[in-house]
Chains A and B, each alone.
Chain A
């Protein structure tokens, strides 16, 4: 409780904060007894910031994201989302975009985006309007009637982003959303995501394996160690906004990416 109080105090001091995590540790029961998965995670994400988490495979990045979404509970520690704990999923506060193939194949793009609203029994007209707005926002005007198997990988993830944003949550969590895409589509989608982010002013926590993607997108990169996952470095990305593809060729970009790479190599 003392920890929660401290967190709240810190929040009022440091301006608007979207996510605060303190003293978070997680242990799960594996086949050979208790396995420590996450250890003493502390992080603060300011409202409207774009934070990217990188780390070796199996370091608990996804677990951490699931906890931020209220889908899983940590063994220890506190998570505050917009100042309140998140013991169970709350789509009005947090939207989630998963890895590939998370769209429902039996629903059209439009119905996939409407899905979260349908769960809350929102009126049909409102559902239609909001979903259409979101499809417009992600650049899929006129594609609402298509089914997932009729869409390309990039378009599917656009639909997934629209679905994550349809209830207008202040926070968007993204778990390697572009991992299954080819390199070119991936770059385009990263750029598109920044456009959507700047238009909607969301707070984004984004997990990726791609260091280039991390530097290109982030305000701040958090580097995690191998299991048990700890945050071993926080790197502010001071590149100006809006980001452009040219920046990837600059020395600053290269130095930032190298620094993350060094950290991950030693962490593995």
Chain B
């Protein structure tokens, strides 16, 4: 199958899905109270995005997301690089991190509420906590993806330490780092939303949980469409960046 056919089939499937979403509830095949027609959801989305309370909630969530990200990325990267570069620390901590990585982070959420109360700090702390492990793992993998041969070549041409970092480490690690950025954004996003849905006074996650509890299905689906769009746009932007520098990856 050529690329055009594949694209056409994909678009057709998407179109069919959206059409079904609009038609089936509209004509009573599906219960419109459980699944409002797409047109109603989109109208509600425009309406909801215009409300100050919703805009404020989005702002709060975005703030939590940004701060958690700014904590988790440098912290995780520093720990990951330390573990990868130092054999001693690596032998001790790597297995432990693997164990902790496998544990679902959401079970720690009640503890974060006990320690930080309910609010901005608790959301940020929990989101950073649920993100930092994937950053550590990825940073370790990124450092280990640097080839010893390349370091030797750079040294044999008299590269300084700074030159080795800038001209060998960074470009070698770039594809893995971008992948790490993408994954950690997903983890971070999920962390913020779960924390807000579980217990919160504001934030887009809290709104969605609330709409769900109150059976406000058009609002609920508007929120879902909004968050799904944001997540996909983020994800695809980084994938695009990855594609830019992955020509030589294979």
Contact = CB atoms under 8 A, between A and B. Distances in A.
B149 A101 contact: yes
Contacts of A148: 248
Interface in A89-136: 89-91, 96, 98-99, 101-102, 104-106, 115-116, 118-120
B248 to A, nearest CB: 4
A105 B147 CA distance: 11
Given A71-B152, A98-B149, A101-B149, A106 B157 contact: no
B149 A71 contact: no
B248 A102 contact: no
Interface in A136-195: 147-149
A37 interface: no
A149 B248 contact: yes
Chain B contact surface mostly: helix
Contacts of B160: 119
A88 B149 CA distance: 18
A106 B169 CA distance: 12
A76 B157 CA distance: 24
Chain A contact surface mostly: loop
Nearest to B248: A105
Interface in B193-250: 245, 247-250
The 7 closest A-B pairs by CB, nearest first: A105-B248, A116-B157, A96-B156, A106-B171, A91-B157, A102-B149, A89-B158
Given A91-B156, A104-B168, 4 more contacts: A71-B156, A99-B149, A115-B157, A147-B247
Interface of B: 147, 149-150, 152-160, 163, 167-168, 171-172, 174, 245, 247-250
25 contacts: A71-B155, A71-B156, A88-B158, A89-B158, A91-B157, A91-B158, A96-B153, A99-B149, A102-B152, A104-B153, A104-B168, A104-B171, A105-B248, A106-B248, A115-B154, A115-B157, A115-B167, A116-B158, A119-B154, A119-B160, A120-B158, A147-B247, A148-B248, A149-B247, A149-B250
